[in-house]
Amino acid sequence: MIGLGLGLGLVRSHALLNVDGTHNQFFTFGSVTYAYNSNLFAEATGRSDTSITASAGLELKRRAGLIGVNSSFKIDYERFETYSDENAFKPDFHLELNKANGRTTGALTLRAYRETLSDSAVNLRTSAWNLPIELNLKYPINDKFYATSETTYLQRRYADTTVLRDLTDYTEGLDFFYVYTSKLDLLAGYRVRLSQTTQGHDTTDHWFNVGATGGLFTKLNGTLRLGYQIREAVSGRENFTHFNALAALGWPLSRKIRLNGQISRDFNTIATGASVDSSSVSLQVIYGYSRKLEFETGLAYGRNLFLGQMEAQRQDSFVSADLGARYKFNEYISVSASYTALHNWSSLDFADFKRQGLSFNFTSRF
């Protein structure tokens, strides 16, 4: 499922403190969000609540020497009016070391954060600590060929372990690119992913894919991959396969209107440790009325097929829509509002639900 609502990205601005020109820059940022959720726990009973979230943080950018540094720390506090047990502090630490020059380039990213969300796959509101680590490398072979590597590690630990299963995930992806034209590269790739959960829900995924990236057609840019995927469920000695696709596309209809589309099909491991065959397609329209005012609307459809002999024969499908606007007063302050709606149909009565959400946000960055 795509993230609904208007993206509340940080506003670009001059640094609060330049230690030595642009080599070392410090920023401060913060936001306040008021939100209404008509179905806080993503299930058929439809319990609603309102919340206020306050966020504050610091950011450091260093551009000196061979390795660049981007780092930030922020903390959110989310407070609910009715279901106060869901109140939460959510720290988020991010560090990126990147190398942009030389024959081999890439970035190492480390992050540690606490996440709370309404999880429609398990029909609960979950809280988990996440530790993702990612290493991306690019190596040019010659004028026409280059290779990339993506190595990731994810550790997720849930606060409630009576029903939910902690996850450890290892992924290695290798891609080989051919420079077909100055605007288009062709690719062939392989990804292996090992997922381990408590109580033995272990899986191994193999994904073989081909695709293209860059200018796919006139004005249509992005990346498109088509492939074949195999999931081996170790504990149940079961194999699942499917043809899949992954695409992120952009099309500027005019100077003010941009169309974005996403297509995804993948095997996922949900919070109970079960395997799910997840498919989704989404479309987003962004309209820049002026340099200060921007509107956005989106529509998405998806299907989740729960797999395995130990799982209930459950199949979900959903439709979601969102509408949002953001106004940028200046390079330091912006406000935004968004409305979201989702309808989830499920063969499991408890998981058949509707949800609406409304939020107002104030963001500043110096």
Indicate which CATH number applies to the domain containing 65.
2.40.160
Query: Is 287 inside a domain boundary?
Result: yes
Query: Is 157 inside a domain boundary?
Result: yes
Query: Is 72 inside a domain boundary?
Result: yes
Query: Is 164 inside a domain boundary?
Result: yes
Query: Is 4 inside a domain boundary?
Result: no
Going residue by residue through the chain, which has 366 residues, state the pLDDT in tens, using 9 for 90 and above.
333 333 333 334 466 666 565 678 999 999 999 999 999 999 999 999 999 999 999 999 998 888 999 999 999 999 999 999 999 999 999 999 999 999 999 999 999 999 999 999 999 999 999 999 999 999 999 999 999 999 999 999 999 988 899 999 999 999 999 999 999 999 999 999 999 998 778 999 999 999 999 999 889 999 999 999 999 987 657 899 999 999 999 999 999 999 999 999 999 999 998 899 999 999 999 999 999 999 999 999 999 999 976 566 799 999 999 999 999 999 999 999 999 999 999 999 999 999 999 999 999 999
The pTM assigned to this predicted structure is 0.89
Query: Is 18 inside a domain boundary?
Result: no
Structural domain span for residue 55: 29-365
What is the total count of domains within the chain?
1
Query: Is 348 inside a domain boundary?
Result: yes
* Three-state SS sequence of the chain: CCCCCCCCCCCCCCCCEECCCCCEEEEEEEEEEEEEECCCCCCCCCCCEEEEEEEEEEEEEECCCCCEEEEEEEEEEEEECCCHHHCEEEEEEEEEEEECCCCCEEEEEEEEEEEEEEECCCCEEEEEEEEEEEEEEEEECCCCEEEEEEEEEEEEEECCCCCCCCEEEEEEEEEEEEECCCCEEEEEEEEEEEEEEHHHCCEEEEEEEEEEEEEEECCEEEEEEEEEEEEEECCCCEEEEEEEEEEEEEEECCCCEEEEEEEEEEEEECCCCCEEEEEEEEEEEEEECCCCEEEEEEEEEEEEEEECCCCCCCEEEEEEEEEEEEEECCCCEEEEEEEEEEEEEECCHHHCEEEEEEEEEEEEEC
Query: Is 7 inside a domain boundary?
Result: no
